[in-house]
């Protein structure tokens, strides 16, 4: 049942290219239109939206953080991301022109459900991105876009996360399309690039052997830090969350630019720091800043584990371990950069003798607030 893998988690990591392809299937037309048949909000409803809130928990929240970058960039709509458990307690400003995007693999997470109930009481429209057909959150939403990850058995979310990213990109592109936007050319190009992503995820999976070896080398570390910028920041948070859940190690993700405001004090001789490097193409300034951050942590003794695009030679002098990912437009990069972090956490947990599929103290679906 694990299809030749030692753990469900490894099986599900391996299924990611297919899961992403299935989630995109039939939803992107060659003409560059986006077909979202399960979204029962009219184009007019979507044109009336003046603000987007994304609510979710845990890994799904990290998908939402990535979605914020895509939605704001493509649609110019203001978009906030909020932990579902915090949302209703601060009395958010909502009305019928607010679009709530609730992201949940299980569709049963109580914190997320309570957030959408609160939003609906204020007349906001709710669009759910969900993996479990017919679960409570999609039933209570105005519209739903299902991710087609298939059942996720391992407690730690992997393939559901990648499909949530894919679904978020679709929603962003759809909003941009119906609202008519400034970046029409760019959006058309993204549609094509999105279709190429399953193949790129597959390419990453084929090069994971050195990550397994690295996992054995750092399995006894006291703490592992993760840094990233822009969409690399939620990827850093997700890498740290996977490691906490599975390896029971101290792990923290930071926005790379925040390091100098405090966290850099944590770095000691040999501390592993995983650095998610943005593409040098597109936003070169951001890339160069992250390269400086890598130099800074290394100068303080960090053991640097660098996730960088093929052909990015600038990182080479500062990488103790270099993990390559295929060239990808910046906003789509999380689909490839998170994969080595999933494998790393899984293999560190295995090296420490932990139960990878059923980590202690965790449940697959959290139905209490």
Q: How far apart are CA 266 and CA 272, in angstroms?
A: 11
23 binds ligand F6R (CB under 6 A): no
From residue 47, give the alpha-carbon distance in Å to each of 137, 175, 179, 219, 266. 24, 8, 5, 50, 47
Q: Which of 75, 85, 98, 109 binds ligand F6R (CB under 6 A)?
A: 109
In angstroms, give the least distance from the CB of 104 to ligand F6R.
Answer: 3
Q: Which of 17, 58, 138, 278 binds ligand F6R (CB under 6 A)?
A: 58
Q: Residues 51, 120, 289, 364: which is the catalytic one?
A: 364
What is the phi-psi region of residue 230: left when phi exceeds 0, alpha when psi lies from -120 to 50, beta otherwise?
left
CA dihedral 340, 167, 330, 241 (to 10 degrees): -40
- Piece in contact with ligand F6R (CB under 6 A), picked from 32-40, 102-110, 317-325, 331-339: 102-110
Please, which residue, 157 or 354, has the CB nearer to ligand F6R? 157
Q: Which of 16, 75, 85, 106 binds ligand F6R (CB under 6 A)?
A: 106
- Piece in contact with ligand F6R (CB under 6 A), picked from 100-108, 219-227, 314-322, 346-354: 100-108
141 binds ligand F6R (CB under 6 A): no
Q: Answer for the pair 347, 216: CB distance below 8 angstroms, yes or no.
A: yes
In angstroms, give the least distance from the CB of 341 to ligand F6R.
Answer: 12
157 binds ligand F6R (CB under 6 A): yes
Please, which residue, 80 or 108, has the CB nearer to ligand F6R? 108
| Pairing mode of beta strands 51-56, 79-83 | parallel
330 binds ligand F6R (CB under 6 A): no
**Burial bucket for residue 369 (CB in 10 Å: 0-12, 13-18, 19+):** exposed
Q: How far apart are CA 71 and CA 66, in angstroms?
A: 9
Please indicate whether residue 364 is annotated as part of the active site: yes
Strands in 265-338 per DSSP E: 272-276, 303-309, 321-325
In angstroms, give the least distance from the CB of 76 to ligand F6R.
Answer: 28
Q: Which of 85, 104, 147, 163 binds ligand F6R (CB under 6 A)?
A: 104
**Count of alpha carbons within 13 angstroms of residue 116, beta-carbon side:** 30
In angstroms, give the least distance from the CB of 241 to ligand F6R.
Answer: 6
Site for ligand F6R, residues 213 to 242, rule: CB under 6 A: 241
In angstroms, give the least distance from the CB of 16 to ligand F6R.
Answer: 14
Q: How far apart are CA 358 and CA 354, in angstroms?
A: 9
Q: Which of 98, 112, 221, 337 binds ligand F6R (CB under 6 A)?
A: 112
Q: Under rule CB under 6 A, how many of the chain's residues touch ligand F6R? A: 15
Q: How far apart are CA 64 and CA 52, in angstroms?
A: 11
| Pairing mode of beta strands 250-255, 223-228 | parallel
**Burial bucket for residue 90 (CB in 10 Å: 0-12, 13-18, 19+):** exposed
Q: Which of 14, 46, 55, 59 binds ligand F6R (CB under 6 A)?
A: 59
**Continuous segment of H or E residues that includes residue 309:** strand 303-309
12 binds ligand F6R (CB under 6 A): no
In angstroms, give the least distance from the CB of 133 to ligand F6R.
Answer: 13
In angstroms, give the least distance from the CB of 343 to ligand F6R.
Answer: 14
The residues that are catalytic are 364
Chain residues in the site for ligand F6R (CB under 6 A): 57-60, 104-106, 109, 112, 156-157, 241, 245, 365-366
């Amino acid at each position: 049942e694990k299809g030749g893998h030692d753990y469900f988690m490894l099986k599900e990591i391996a299924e990611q290219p297919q899961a992403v392809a299935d989630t995109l299937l039939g939803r992107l037309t060659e003409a560059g239109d986006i077909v979202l048949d399960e979204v029962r909000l009219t184009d007019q409803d979507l044109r009336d939206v003046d603000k987007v809130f994304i609510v979710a928990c845990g890994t799904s929240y990290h998908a939402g953080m990535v979605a914020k970058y895509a939605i704001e960039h493509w649609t110019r709509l203001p978009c906030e991301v909020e932990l579902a458990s915090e949302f209703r307690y601060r009395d958010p400003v909502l009305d019928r022109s607010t679009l709530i995007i609730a992201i949940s693999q299980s569709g049963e997470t109580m914190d997320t459900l309570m957030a959408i109930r609160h939003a609906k009481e204020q007349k906001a429209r709710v669009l759910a991105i969900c993996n479990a057909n017919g679960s409570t959150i999609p039933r209570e939403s105005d519209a739903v876009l299902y991710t087609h990850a298939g059942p996720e058995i391992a407690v730690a979310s992997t393939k559901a996360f990648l499909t949530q990213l894919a679904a978020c990109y679709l929603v962003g592109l759809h909003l941009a399309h119906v609202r008519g936007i400034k970046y029409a050319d760019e959006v058309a190009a993204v549609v094509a690039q999105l279709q190429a992503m399953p193949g790129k995820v597959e390419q990453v999976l084929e090069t994971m052997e050195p990550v397994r070896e690295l996992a054995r080398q750092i399995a006894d570390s006291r703490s592992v830090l993760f840094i990233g910028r822009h969409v690399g920041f939620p990827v850093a948070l997700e890498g740290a969350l996977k490691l906490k859940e599975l390896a029971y190690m101290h792990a923290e993700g930071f926005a790379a630019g925040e390091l100098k405001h405090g966290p850099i004090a944590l770095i000691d001789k040999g501390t592993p720091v995983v650095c998610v490097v943005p593409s040098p193409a597109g936003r070169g300034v951001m890339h160069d800043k992250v390269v400086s951050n890598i130099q800074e942590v290394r100068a303080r003794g960090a053991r640097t584990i660098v996730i960088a695009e093929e052909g990015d030679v600038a990182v080479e002098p500062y990488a103790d371990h270099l993990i390559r990912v295929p060239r990808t437009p910046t906003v789509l990069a999380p689909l490839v950069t998170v994969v080595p972090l999933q494998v790393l956490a899984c293999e560190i947990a295995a090296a420490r003798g932990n139960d990878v599929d059923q980590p202690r103290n965790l449940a697959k679906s959290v139905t209490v607030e």
